[in-house]
Amino acid sequence: MALHSTPGAASAPFDLRIDSGGDLFPVSEERPRLSFTVPAVLDDWHASELEAVVDGEPVGAVVLESTEHLFVPWPWPVLSSGQRVRWRVRVHAPSGASSWSEWTSFEAGLLDADWAADWISPVERDTPAAGERGAHVLSRAFSADEVVSARLYSTALGVYEARINGERVGSAELSPGSSSYDRTLYAQAADVTALLRAGENVVEIVLSDGWYRGQVGAFRIPAGWGTQLGARAELHLELTDGARRVIRTDAAWMSAPSSITRADLMDGQTTDLQVSQGHAEPALVGVVSGPAPSWSPAPPVRIVETCAVAHSTRVDDETWVLDFGQNASGWIRLDDLGAAGTRTVIDYGEFVGPDGDLDTSHLDSTRPGEPVKVFVQRDVVVSDGSDAVFEPRHTVHGFQYARVGRDGGAFDPSSAVMRVVQTDLRRTALFESSSSDLNRLHEIADWSFRGNAVDVPTDCPTRERLAWTGDYQVFAPTAARLYDVLGFTRKWLRSVRDDQLDDGRIANFSPDGRRIKNNLDDQFAQMTGSSGWGDAITFVPWEMYRTYGDRRVLEENWDAMVRWVEWVLAAARDNRHPSRVQRSAEPQEHERFLWDGTFHWGEWTEPVLKAEDGSRLDPIKVNPMAWFMADKGEVGTAYLHRSARILADTARVLGRPDDEIRYADIADRVLDAWRTEFVREDGRTAQDTQAAYVRALAFGLMPEASRSAAAARLVELIREAGTHLGTGFLSTGDLLPVLTEAGYADVAYDLLFQRSEPSWLHMVDKGATTIWEDWEGIDDDGVAHESLNHYSKGAVVRFLHTHTLGLRQEPTSIAWESFVIAPVPDQRVTAASGHADTPQGRASVDWRVVDGEMRIDAEIPAGSRATVVFPGGETFEAGPGRFTGSAAIRPTA
């Protein structure tokens, strides 16, 4: 046994950051919070010293007599609009002060009170249907000489691009982003100094429908935020003589149609380069208004990667199918558009049929009583004969394949590239193992989340493209392991709060362009308020707090969390499932805490029903009414318990002792009710399904005396299913951790390495490049089913980090102040390596098994303590620095 700990070499704080997003530079509100990371060698530090320079003037050093280094409150006077800040930090230890960190910079945005620009709108002479409307150009000419600095602040109701003298401003895409536009609108800031020239200049805003009034969802229903597009912008110029000048949107701006004759985020974009910009006339002023612009905490959407064509097939004389080798979110860039008048049509999709041609029929959708809505993602460009490049920035697509049709013209597939477009999240974890299968599974799950992280966490980037609350509730812990998603998640949670119904229910998805909160007679409103979906408002903030240590995410969501749980409690008290009414006219005492009488999506897509030929059946399609009326009280009550418990824990963190007592008591009462109703005398659950046992064990619902029997019964059900999982949407992500922690790691790995469906490696074997919605996304006949990029089932890769790699935060730890290194090997996995970039710094693990002995090499960051547990049971405590140890896999007798 070898064991030692050594310090790292860094000698100054690093990774300085604020709690705001921004494009080419961070943009803050008036009181940003500061965070930094301290290297392991400085673990004994006890105070920090911060220096800042604001608009070129030092504002003095501040010494904090604590080890606080995350979300430090702004210690200087509040910032004003546009102020530019440089700051650095060093820490103090008994041996003296560390080196200073590198300087880092950010700017304050244009703050609410200082916006003076008018809202302006394009002139629209006709009103095509949603999906057929084009983009408009709002512009203003101005003269400028001797400009030393220029900042453009802009936002819109719709998707926009800003340009100065024909050059794009910044690198952000799909601005201003998706939000609940009735209450929240984000602005963008850019340094445009280099785009200006002496003399005449032109500033333009190209504006299209976007999320504001374009089509949304599987049925392409127009978003209901508004009917008129709008833009608001201010160009702030600083001149050499110190004077300042502001160009604002107002009556001096002009409106004209653009060469983008069709622009819809769902359906696609048509650009006719032969169409010159239409007749310009004064823009409309003051016909729309939006909420005061704010500054997003999330990183921007950007082009993050460019992929070349991996393979191309010529279908006929004028049609090619391009395979980019990876299912992703984005668009195609074309460098060669052909001679003037050449028309190129690009259709996007996830699948090609046996004939080698694009097939999107698996994404078609049908509303009850209406014809099939054929799925289309189509861009069109007409060449003007110049060397122009086509890049459709007013739409976005989910695709791996593209069918390119060119009327009578030659086409070189190498002239096309895939532009991968997503929120530019910072990767925080890596995983690699001795198993190529698990490495590939991790890769496709990672790509699946990336393809759905386009400003908000969508379910799929194709058919629906909606930010379903249930999907992110399931995946949030995995997302927070793979990437820094705190700002991304805080932005989305603001929409969840904005869309919350007056009675406390949480919308099924947010931002909710259908605006269910204002349309309570809509049938879909009756399917709002489900367990596992609405509970995102409690679980996701709590998971963000646990991972990042940010109290603000709890403060921001507290009221919404309370309103949700109080609605659920009332729903449980006032409604009973018909089966219980039939059992007894009068409710039993515990039933007031059973959440069983309102709508629930339930476990959703459990692979349990079998046809005569052995294939799985969808219970909803087999008997929709039976599915709708089924008793889902076990699921609902379980989630009520967890949400009440989270509310009690949140109250403790926020210093609300009365609320902590109240919700802790409620959580106990709900737990008693769940056990009374859903645990049988023999210790089994009333449902006796894999999902029920997983949830009971993961949520701590089973009595301690029954946990072993419950785990054994779960294993029995798995073996009865031929070692296949039978869990659905809500519990699949917890299945493998539950088995492993109950002592059945062998069963967990048997499921993980299962190759016939339902299984994860079935997707790998079928060539999936992202996670499928249906376990049999491509069947044995080569037919596609449902979405081929639905990230929720990819939550399994969290197990690869927490158990296979063995690196996981202690259950009671916040912001990784303490964590466990406890690898779980298997005969099919004999080595693994990876890391997690935690709020304290990088925690890394590298382990391998040779001749029955495991060797672990690990790095523990400053501010953290680790407990290292070998498979044989040997346990060691490790402080910051390097840990190296080895031990037999099984203890000797």
3-state secondary structure of 544: helix
Strand partners, 260: 271
- CB distance 106 to 113 below 8 Å: no
Q: 827 CB contacts (<8 Å, ≥6 apart)?
A: none
Q: Which of 161, 773, 776, 859 is catalytic?
A: 773
Rounded CA-CA distance 471/511 in Å is 14
- CB distance 804 to 823 below 8 Å: yes
For the beta carbon of residue 314, count every other beta carbon within 10 angstroms. Answer: 12
The whole-angstrom distance between residue 629's C-alpha and the CA centroid of its chain comes to: 32
| CA separation, residue 410 to residues 270, 285, 339, 346, 415 (Å) | 20, 46, 10, 15, 11
- CB distance 472 to 480 below 8 Å: no
Does residue 716 have an active-site annotation?
Answer: no
Rounded CA-CA distance 469/501 in Å is 14
3-state secondary structure of 255: strand
Structure token pair of residue 11? 């000698």
| CA separation, residue 280 to residues 122, 132, 232, 256 (Å) | 10, 21, 18, 4
Rounded CA-CA distance 773/776 in Å is 9
Structure token pair of residue 666? 């409620």
- CB distance 230 to 156 below 8 Å: yes
Rounded CA-CA distance 127/136 in Å is 13
Rounded CA-CA distance 260/205 in Å is 13
Q: In the sheet that 199-208 helps form, which strands lie side by side, from edge to edge? A: 167-168, 159-164, 199-208, 136-144, 254-257, 281-282
Q: Which of 464, 543, 591, 776 is catalytic?
A: 464
Helices (H) and strands (E) in the chain, counts: 17, 48
Nearest CA among 561, 541, 538 for reference residue 550: 541
Nearest CA among 345, 135, 92 for reference residue 256: 135
Nearest CA among 434, 470, 444, 545 for reference residue 833: 434
Write down the residue that tokens 């997983």 correspond to: 694
3-state secondary structure of 614: coil
Nearest CA among 478, 601, 449 for reference residue 532: 601
Does residue 810 have an active-site annotation?
Answer: no
Rounded CA-CA distance 432/440 in Å is 9
Nearest CA among 352, 456, 330, 351 for reference residue 397: 330
Rounded CA-CA distance 229/159 in Å is 9
Nearest-5° Cα angle at 500, 495 to 504 = 150
Q: In the sheet that 831-838 helps form, which strands lie side by side, from edge to edge? A: 4-6, 881-888, 853-860, 841-850, 831-838, 429-433
Structure token pair of residue 245? 């000048």
Contacts by residues 124-131 (CB-CB < 8 Å, ≥ 24 positions apart):
124/228, 124/229, 130/209, 130/213, 130/214, 130/215, 130/220, 130/222, 130/264, 131/214, 131/215, 131/220, 131/262, 131/264, 131/266, 131/267
Secondary structure element (H or E) that encloses residue 818, with its range: strand 818-821
DSSP-derived secondary structure for 636-692: HHHHHHHHHHHHHHHHHHTT-HHHHHHHHHHHHHHHHHHHHHHB-TTS-BSS-SHHH
Residues annotated catalytic, as ranges:
464, 773
